Amino acid sequence: MGSEIVNLINTGKLDMALLSISSEKPRLFEKGEEMFWDDEHISKGMLEAHLKKEIYSDFTGKEYTDNSESIAIIAENNG
pLDDT in tens, 10-48: 887 777 777 777 777 877 877 766 677 788 888 888 888
Mean pLDDT of the region 45-63: 68
Q: What percent of the chain has pLDDT over 70?
A: 75
Mean pLDDT of the region 53-63: 59
Q: Report whether pLDDT(53) > 60.
A: yes
Query: 74 lies in which domain range?
Result: 37-79
Q: How far apart are CA 67 and CA 46, in angstroms?
A: 13
Q: What is the DSSP letter of 78?
A: T
> What's the number of domains the chain is made of?
1
